[in-house]
Structure 1
Amino acid sequence: MAPSVVLVTGASRFIGAHLAARLAADPSIDRVLGVDTVPPSRELLRGMGRAEFVRADIRNPLIAKVIASAEVDTIMHTSLSSSPGASGGRVAMKEMNVIGTMQLLAACQRSPRVRRLVLKSTTAVYGSSPRDPAIFTEAMASKALPSGGYAKDAAEIEGYVRGFGRRRPDVSVSVLRFANFIGPRIDTALTRYFALPIVPTVLGYDARMQLLHSEDALAVLEQAAREDLPGMFNVGASGVLLLSQAIRRAGRVQVSLPGSVVGPVSRFFRGTRLLDFTSEQMRFLNFGRVVDTTKLRETFGFTPRWTTRQAFDDFAQGRQLRPLISTEQMHAMENRVMATARALR
């Protein structure tokens, strides 16, 4: 059954605001509400069209009144935060992610009109470790369970959502585990990382990365809002990129650092607000993560428009990232290194 009244959490952020705009553009949907603790930027608000912004905190039980008074039948929960810095610290981030979801689910539990719940989760729940399988399927669990941060929040939230599904079998519940977003319009810790002129990596590691174009992410969420597609789905583009390949494609300069200095360098970047990398994101850059998307294509019925490589190239071109060192200079440096190595034999 097509949705009538849709509520989108996290409406002040890129994914939530643009999803609300897409749904509001559909005349078959009567009403779209976007909720968040702070209003969207003027640009995002203008782009939301007829979607209504409601300043509300999902951690507050009053969210139940918003859902009941608007007669919401579809909940798009996209407000999970992965950035402690942007959330006011790790404690505030956990409260918004976990406590906020619990209050939202309690409100859904009390509303007889809610018929569909879609959770924007993350493949970070699988973790990143040297013992990981080559590809994770939805049935697999992490070899090293997340010990904290965004990944642990997401794992807890998925558990609460599964419990809600058991209590309300009449509600169609979809859990979408997204790979890391990339694209010219979205701003994340990963896009800021690849935009650095000199990109630090850990010596001895070259992670396999599976990414997802932000426009594909919006398209998946839009389809989940419109169609009855219950279940858990990995959402990622086809193909992988090695971290070193991605850095070269962005025209950046890679600097490999010993593991002992990674912590101080990470703290430096957090202090300058250039990056807000958490420990699980650092592990992702060391070990990578790839998921199987067969279920997404065959059961959900969605095939991403961009491959991982195409999505990354679109990001680099859209951000107008230019090589800091020309191909000729790089070849000259390589030739000098080779000549030096031959002279030392």
Structure 2
Amino acid sequence: MADVVLVTGVSRYLGGRFASMLSRDPGISRVIGVDVVPPPHDIGAAEFVRADIRNPVIAKVIARAEVDTVVHMNVIATPTSAGGRASMKEINVIGTMQLLAACQKAASLRRLVVKSTAGVYGASPRDPALFTEDMGPKVMPRTGWAKDSVEVEGYVRGFSRRRSDVDVAVLRLANFIGPRVRTALTDYFELPVVPTVLGFDPRFQVVHEDDGLEALRLATLGDVTGFLNVAGDGFVTVHQAVRMAGRPALPVAAPLMSALGSAVRSAGLLDFTPDQVRFLSYGRGLDTTRMRADLGLEPRWTTKEAVEDFVRSRHLSGPLSPAVVEVAERTVLSTVSPALRRAQSLVEAVRGA
């Protein structure tokens, strides 16, 4: 059972909210939140320690507090929040290496939980319908967060071999979505016009921010080990989600999507990497059997419900949004129905004559 928990990345939304959630658990005596800058949001009763996990000083923080559980949430998904791709790579990979080195020296450590991503499976036309945790990617991620996460998982495997006395759980979470979390996927569906890959309409899963944080909580307080997929039930397709957000889709030929992605990144609108283009072409499915059987999580939100909550909370609307379409349908029916009834009456009168 976790007693003294250290959480990395608390200055970001998910890390801060998770630290706050743990600080309310009566079974945990102390929660320490670590980041390079003070969190701009409330982290509850968690203690904030200003420290850079890329610096060996993190080992002293763990040792002095006699931390028994570390939750690593400081693997950054978007370079805009890290000051660029080079800085993002350094935080994700070098930071994880230093944190694991500190964990290796900590005699008090009993559990390590790592927030990873389903992006490590990549996306290709040869993918299975559902990835299980023991499957590897058909095409390795080549850029961005997914590539960093593959390296992070490799270092975590090495740590697990060196410290076999420490229980290690790695959660491969589907894309987060929800009322407040901001990711490359939420930015994508908030674009005024959403570019899609011409000829493709792949299915995908998401995890609502509430369910994702609950999965991390269960992994922190429980005894599950190994790699676990986490996603909401069911699927939506890219075009279904675009319509739910009320946005018009702009089909773009696959060879031009990379150039469009570079332009979008340069404009600061979206972190649009080649791996994301592949995801928007082929999608991804996760087998979540272990999530239920071993982690004990029953998601409150299906994929469709999570997308609907995101749309509703962000007040997204447009010419194709469901509410606008429903009003248009009612208007058309109220206008056309009387005319149809009159025409039907006239036909019946003629037949009667």
TM-score, normalised by the number of residues in structure 1: 0.91
Map Cα deviations across residues 62-110 of structure 1 (whole Å, 9 max, x no partner).
1000101111110000110121222122221111111111111111111
Match of 1:25 in 2: 24
Is structure 2 residue 177 aligned with structure 1 residue 178?
Answer: no
SS where residue 289 of structure 1 aligns?
Answer: coil
Q: Give the distance between the partners of 1:164 and 1:265, measured in 2 at CA.
A: 40
Map Cα deviations across residues 89-135 of structure 1 (whole Å, 9 max, x no partner).
22211111111111111111111100000000011110001111111
Q: Give the distance between the partners of 2:253 and 2:212, measured in 1 at CA.
A: 35
CA apart distance, 1:148: 3.1
Q: Tell me the amino acid that sits aligned with residue 166 of structure 1.
A: R
Match of 1:342 in 2: none
Gap regions ≥5 residues in structure 2: 333-353
Is structure 2 residue 262 aligned with structure 1 residue 306?
Answer: no
Residue 152 to residue 203, structure 1, CA distance change in 2 (3 Å): same
Worse overlay, 188-197 or 113-122: 188-197
Is structure 2 residue 233 aligned with structure 1 residue 238?
Answer: yes
Matches within 5 A, 1:20-169: 20-41=19-40, 44=41, 47-169=42-164
Q: Give the distance between the partners of 2:151 and 2:2, measured in 1 at CA.
A: 27
CA apart distance, 1:207: 1.6
Is structure 2 residue 15 aligned with structure 1 residue 16?
Answer: yes
CA apart distance, 1:149: 2.3
Match of 1:255 in 2: 250
SS where residue 256 of structure 1 aligns?
Answer: strand
Map Cα deviations across residues 303-339 of structure 1 (whole Å, 9 max, x no partner).
111010011011111111123244349x99xxxxxxx
Q: Give the distance between the partners of 2:206 and 2:101, measured in 1 at CA.
A: 33
CA apart distance, 1:11: 0.5
Q: Tell me the amino acid that sits aligned with residue 18 of structure 1.
A: R
Q: Tell me the amino acid that sits aligned with residue 303 of structure 2.
A: T
Map Cα deviations across residues 156-215 of structure 1 (whole Å, 9 max, x no partner).
111111111111111110010000011111111111111122111111111211100011
Gap regions ≥5 residues in structure 1: 333-345
Does the CA contact (< 8 Å) of 1:197 and 1:324 recur in 2?
A: no
Match of 1:4 in 2: 3
Larger Rg: 2
SS where residue 53 of structure 1 aligns?
Answer: strand
Match of 1:335 in 2: none
SS where residue 217 of structure 2 aligns?
Answer: helix
- Count matched residues: 326
- Backbone CA RMSD of aligned residues: 1.5
CA apart distance, 1:265: 2.1
Match of 1:285 in 2: 280
Match of 2:343 in 1: none
